[in-house]
Chain A
Amino acid sequence: DIVMTQSPDSLAVSLGERATIKCKSSQSVLHTSVNREYLGWYQQKPGQPPKLLIYWASTRESGVPDRFSGSGSGTDFTLSISSLQAEDVAVYYCQQYLSTPPAFGQGTKVEIK
């Protein structure tokens, strides 16, 4: 099974500053036949279900603000929030969906400093 590890577990960032979350997979999540990284990022606010932010490692979901960006390849991925807003306070999860079972990272809690 592929294991997903996020870092840090939590971070506090000032409003308007950049937040960076790392996600590492124990194996490559590259789907070679379509040349896409099968890695997604989700945002979960308190009392709400998760929401897909980024898929294929770097493609922003429709309606997601462009301050959110995803990057990386192979086993190392990053979610960046370029200018943190108050409404971005949430827990963020990465997930690989290349192989079964699809696995989530443990989550990263983002707060305002």
Chain B
Amino acid sequence: EVQLVESGGGLVEPGGSLRLTCAASGFTFSNAWMTWVRQAPGKGLEWVGRILRQSDGGTTDYAAPVKGRFAISRDDSKNMVSLQMNRLKVEDTAVYYCSVGLGKSDTDFWGQGTLVTVSS
């Protein structure tokens, strides 16, 4: 059974930093592309970024609003993906979901999400 468990969310002041992690199990992590999606309170889904598997170069891509501030990394030895968020803004407040594509779409399975609140 595929499981994705996010952690690291919380309250942070504008301009601050936060690191989210996602622990994965139930599939071959090293073969998977991992994606972060966020959802602001009462709003729709917004793609944040993605990291490809090492065999595809481990390339990262980011949405325009977070490019240059957020960084995605992966540790295949621990089956974990991380989202480092710097220079946080109030508009980054959202539930952040970790997801994985396993050959059907980019986001076949989703974690339960972790809430990030950026406020002074």
Report, as a range, how many residues of chain A touch the other chain: 20 to 34
Q: How far is the CB of B48 from chain A (nearest CB, A)?
A: 9
C-alpha spacing A91/B64, complex, angstroms: 25
Which residues B72-89 have CB closer than 8 A to chain A?
none
CB distance B110 to A51 under 8 Å? yes
CB distance A49 to B113 under 8 Å? yes
Give the residue of B37, B61, B97, B110 whose beta carbon is less than 8 angstroms from that of A100. B61
Give the residue of A91, A95, A101, A107 whose beta carbon is less than 8 angstroms from that of B107. A95
Report, as a range, how many residues of chain B touch the other chain: 20 to 34
Give the residue of B47, B97, B108 whose beta carbon is less than 8 angstroms from that of A102. B47
- Over the window 78-109 of chain B, the binary record of Cβ atoms lying under 8 Å from chain A Cβ atoms (1 yes, 0 no) is 00000000000000000001000100111111
Binding site for B on A (CB under 8 A): 38, 40, 42, 44, 49-52, 55-56, 59, 61, 91, 93, 95, 97, 100-107
Would you mind naming 19 contact pairs between A and B with Cβ atoms under 8 Å apart?
A: A40-B105, A40-B106, A49-B110, A49-B113, A50-B37, A50-B45, A50-B97, A50-B107, A52-B104, A52-B108, A55-B104, A55-B105, A61-B108, A95-B45, A97-B105, A101-B47, A102-B50, A104-B45, A104-B46
